[in-house]
Amino acid sequence: MECGLLNLEKKVSLYLVMVLLFIGIIGSVLFGASVRHVILVPEPRLGAFGEGLLKIAEFPSLVRDIVAGQGQGQMISDERFANLDGFKKDGKLPAGVLTDNGYLLLSSYDADQAQATVQLIQINSQKTLHEWVPDIDALNDLNILSEEYSYDYIAKSNFRLTHPLPQADGGLVFNTDSGLHGMDLCAESNLFVDGTFHHSNEQDHEGNIWTPSVIYPHSYPQLAKFRDDAIAKISPAGEVLFKKSVAEILVENGYRGLMAVGGDNDPVHLNDIQPALTDSNYWQKGDLLLSLRHRSTVMLYRPSTNKILWLKTGPWMNQHDLNFVDDHTISLFGNDVIDSGEKRALFNGHNSVYFYDFETDQISEPYQKIMQQMDVKTLTEGRGTPLANGDLFIDESNNGRILRVSSDEVKWEYVRRIDEEKIAMSSWSRYLTQQEAKPILAQLKGNSCKQ
């Protein structure tokens, strides 16, 4: 009798387990379908219930980030810079700081504001003349999940104001790896372009903004899914004037083979567009320098004729930040990283800045020794801007350090310190000359922004 009851209880228990398992599977499918509906449908019918579903779906990621210590977002630790605080090194200001009459347009995380901000800092006085503190929640509300590579929400701790571009009215244009945004001097939103915009923001000779974007769906439907990076030209009013796939540019100019290198679903990884502002024997105003990171390739492209005028792969590796230096020379920031997909490693142990001379077809690395000496080694991102006097402005983005160097001397270093252990990552900050800073400084006089 007792054995019969035990067998019955086991059968009932197994039956309940199977029923609960079945209900759990059906519930998970329905939950996933509901979340997918909320994400993909611009005006979902689920209303507040749908918003609740999203909060529940995001909870495991929140727990994971807290447990893994990833909730720090843009704050990083690097023991190499323990003796740096602002422009001070070992508690002292280097002479190069006091003689620098330029400005630092710093995009990074502000611990006091608990979010990313942009500061205009006068270097020789170390004074913060202005800080743009946008409403991150309001910026998130503008984003629409309309493209596969866009985000409709970015956590405040991770929301970066990437490569802020100064405007004549004292405002800034920046991207977030999602929409393209603009804000006025008081950090009020005054521009939004929906879509996926990423990496650099630069202005051409007509005042339009060139920024990398993404074509979705991609340009070649017969191929497997891949990220189809594109060049985009945006008017000051936020109108998309021109957009073209980099894959199409390569194929249409006889460089289809570059698309077949490796098996990455991000074959191009466009990370910089630099417009030519003047004419020379080698380019015209409106021509574009393009950096194709995953191909270790740079090229000079003329949008008006859809022609690649010049293209070169290496010796740089996984590079960033192209610049026109003079009427026959360009520069680029070589991360010089080998990326296996599982691990990134510096080929020579440090970054370098390369110069290519169109007149002589020669490549040089005039800052290689000083960059090796200073252990400049950002694995991704990074900027190296040649200055008029021959110095170099370096944004070691991943590691949070900014430097000004000559070919044989360090003029100054800068970090934005959070506390004794952590500093803020830099989100593609800029060096501004007095002339470049003048429009912002003029707008600051008598402004009524709340600081």
Strand order in the sheet with 297-302: 270-275, 288-292, 297-302, 307-313
Count H helices and E strands in the chain, helices first.
7, 30
pLDDT one-digit tens code per residue, 369-395: 999 999 999 999 999 999 999 999 999
Alpha carbon distances (Å) from 344 to 263, 339, 378: 17, 4, 11
- CA angle (428, 433, 435) in 5-degree steps: 125
275 CA to centre of own chain: 18
- 282: tokens are 């080698």
Are the CB atoms for 253 and 307 separated by under 8 Å? yes
* Helix intervals (H) in 144-273: 246-252
How is domain 82-444 classified at the CATH fold level? Neuraminidase (2.120.10)
Residue pair 289/350 in contact (Cβ under 8 Å)? The answer is: no
Q: Where are the domains of the chain?
A: 2-66, 82-444
Structure tokens at 160: 């970066």
Give the integer Cα–Cα distance in Å for 396 and 188.
Answer: 29
pLDDT of residue 62: 43
**Residue ranges in the chain modelled with pLDDT below 50:** 2, 5-6, 8, 35-47, 51, 53-55, 58-59, 61-71
Does the N-terminal peptide bond of residue 217 adopt cis geometry, omega within 30 degrees of 0?
yes
Q: How many CB atoms lie within 10 A of CB 289?
A: 23
Contact 180, 241 (CB under 8 A): no
The tokens for 267 are 């074959």
Q: What value, to the nearest 5°, has the Cα angle with vertex 290 and ends 179 and 343?
A: 80
pTM here is: 0.84
Please list the alpha-helical segments (H only) found in 143-288.
Answer: 246-252
SS3 37: helix
Q: How far is CA 163 from the centre of its chain?
A: 7
